[in-house]
Amino acid sequence: MKSPSTVEEIQSLMGRAAALNRFLSKSTDKCRPFFKALKNGQKDKWDEECEVAFQSLKTYLTSPPLLSKPVPGEDLFVYLAVSNSATSSALIREELGAQHPIFYTSKTLLDAETRYPKLEKLILALVVSARKLRPYYQAHRVIVMTDFPLRSILHNPDASQRLMKWAIELSQ
């Protein structure tokens, strides 16, 4: 597959990447240079950063991790990750001491969301994961793996209105 050279080819690449989103860990971060190339309106849109990201994406797609199917009733784990521009999560099952990915989620942060503190970005990643993976969350006990005290923050009566809204949504 050759590198895109026109706006239409970049848009086509983005469409293909969006279709594979569930299979790509941190897909938003991997595809960020492509979004920037389309957004900036520059004359020469495809730069070195885009080319490096494209080659990296091609390499990743040729050896993706195999996704697993959960066994009914087993505990699942969700790992959260945040960056300055995106949130991601990985839903994982454990079998014989080995962890196997089930589903990946990812969200590009809006301008206002990029200014959230890291703790709020982590809670947002959990909310996005819970929205996208509702059937898994309803059929399984999901254990959130993080080194931040998300539970105590969400149960704090003095939390911001945004956090209270998310706490209510997560409790359903």
Q: What is the pLDDT of residues 153-168, one digit of tens each?
A: 777 777 788 888 888 8
pLDDT of residue 41: 61
Residue range 78-119, pLDDT digits in tens: 999 898 888 989 999 998 888 888 998 888 899 999 999 888
pLDDT exceeds 90 at position 131: yes
Question: How many C-beta atoms lie closer than 10 Å to residue 170's C-beta?
Answer: 18
pLDDT of residue 162: 83
Distances from the Cα of 102 to the Cα of 82, 93, 99, angstroms: 19, 7, 10
Cα 127 from Cα 169, distance rounded (Å): 8
Question: How many C-beta atoms lie closer than 10 Å to residue 28's C-beta?
Answer: 20
The pTM score is 0.68
pLDDT exceeds 90 at position 127: yes
The domain ranges of the chain are 7-62, 76-171
End-to-end CA distance of the chain: 45
- CATH class of the domain at 76-171: alpha beta
DSSP letter at 11 equals H
The separation between CA 99 and the C-alpha centre of its own chain, rounded to angstroms, equals 18
